């Protein structure tokens, strides 16, 4: 998840920017830009990277849940992409364009429950079991009883959910599994500092451009191209705001409180809501999901993850931003040849956003090596050393 993503990665690179909200990161970033350079932080639509969008309906006991997916490609295996906590399917946008140009494959990038544009009855249930079942249900809803060959690829929290999905045999046509920069030992160690990190993040943004600029200058996403499309999936307009620029921005409930005050009852609650309204008028965008409230699920995402990953009886790939992330179980498993591993240095934790071409090359090579997909466009495999 975004907070965990930063916490997991803090110790890796001495030159990495300070934590978001810690004061000096923006000015430092401005200094690095150099004189006279102005970068474009305007948002970019998903349609520049994906071919289509679909809302997949899944029946359950309480009614219907709707899962947003973005798709590209028409032939080859399906790469089912699961994002990290706090992010959305749009974090895979630039990677999608890169992988589609290298191998014949189909992309399905999914907004997990509680994230992006997915709408479910119980968006607060983010347990590994529930989200893994969601993945299986979406596959069934899209493809019925005869799904095409599918490779699960997940980043951070999404990597953990991919492993839980695979180990529970919820995707019958599963042919491969890829985790991106998530390791049980590192993740568990980072949980203690997660809440502190969340408190240090900005709570609101003046505009989408402001949110995109923060994500790049804070180091959350080091690739401006990816940030311009993916941050749209991380933030939303504050509830009750009618127009970001308009003077008539009103928070629901204010009118009722004002009527009560006219009757002579001075309300502290009214003043607080007025203050909140002013904040939302000045900063009309906030995070789509309150990650701090998901704390009770964090342990369940990551505990036992390494052994679950190693026990999946399919070809596996682990992509890391630094070799120091390996825990004992994965180190032994890697030495025994139980999975393929590639280290992509000089990336932040959001490896697939920071270096989408390198991740696409690694995934394409994995697919071709196992004869899961055919190369296109003259793509040449570069087999990694480990």
Cβ atoms 151, 81 nearer than 8 A: no
In the chain, the N- to C-terminal Cα span, in Å, equals 27
Q: Which tens digits make up the pLDDT trace of 314-343?
A: 999 999 987 777 788 888 998 999 999 999
CA distance 358 to 360: 5
Taking CA atoms, 30 is separated from 15, 349, 386, in Å, by 15, 22, 38
pTM of this structure: 0.81
Give me the percent of the chain exceeding a pLDDT of 70: 77
Active site residues: 156, 181, 349
Please check the confidence at residue 46 and state whether its pLDDT lies above 90.
yes
In this structure, CATH architecture of domain 46-200+294-375: 3-Layer(aba) Sandwich (3.40)
Q: What is the pLDDT of residue 4?
A: 47
């Amino acid at each position: 998840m975004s907070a965990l993503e930063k916490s997991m990665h803090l110790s890796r690179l001495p030159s990495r920017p300070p934590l978001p909200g810690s004061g000096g990161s923006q000015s430092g970033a401005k200094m690095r830009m150099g004189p006279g350079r102005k970068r474009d932080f305007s948002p970019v639509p998903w349609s520049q990277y994906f071919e289509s969008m679909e809302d997949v309906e899944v029946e359950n006991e309480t009614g219907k849940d709707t899962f947003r997916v973005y798709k590209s490609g028409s032939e080859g295996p399906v790469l089912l992409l699961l994002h990290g906590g706090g992010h959305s399917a749009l974090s895979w946008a630039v990677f999608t364009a890169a992988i589609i140009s290298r191998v014949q494959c189909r992309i399905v990038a999914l907004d997990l429950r509680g994230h992006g544009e997915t709408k479910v009855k119980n968006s607060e249930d983010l347990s590994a079991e529930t989200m893994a079942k969601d993945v299986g249900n979406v596959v069934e809803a899209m493809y019925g009883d005869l799904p095409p060959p599918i490779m699960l690829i997940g980043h951070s929290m999404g990597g953990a959910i991919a492993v839980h999905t695979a180990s529970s045999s919820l995707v019958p046509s599963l042919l491969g599994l890829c985790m991106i920069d998530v390791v049980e030992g590192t993740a568990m160690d980072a949980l203690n500092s997660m809440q502190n990190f969340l408190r240090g993040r900005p709570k609101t943004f003046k505009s989408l451009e402001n949110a995109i600029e923060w994500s790049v200058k804070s180091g959350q996403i080091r690739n401006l191209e990816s940030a311009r499309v993916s941050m749209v999936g991380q933030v939303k307009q504050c509830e009750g705001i009618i127009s970001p620029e308009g003077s008539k921005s009103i928070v629901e409930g204010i009118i009722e409180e004002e009527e009560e005050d006219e009757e002579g009852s001075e309300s502290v609650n009214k003043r607080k809501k007025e203050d909140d309204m002013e904040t939302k008028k000045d900063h009309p965008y906030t995070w789509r999901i309150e990650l701090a409230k998901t704390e009770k699920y964090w342990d369940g995402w990551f505990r036992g993850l390494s052994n679950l990953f190693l026990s999946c009886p399919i070809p596996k790939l682990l992509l890391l931003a630094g070799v120091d992330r390996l825990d004992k179980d994965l180190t032994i498993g890697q030495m025994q040849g139980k999975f393929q591993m590639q280290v992509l240095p000089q990336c932040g934790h959001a490896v697939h956003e920071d270096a989408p071409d390198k991740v696409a090359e690694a995934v394409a090579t994995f697919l071709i090596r196992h004869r899961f997909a055919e190369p296109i466009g003259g793509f040449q495999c570069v087999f990694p050393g480990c």
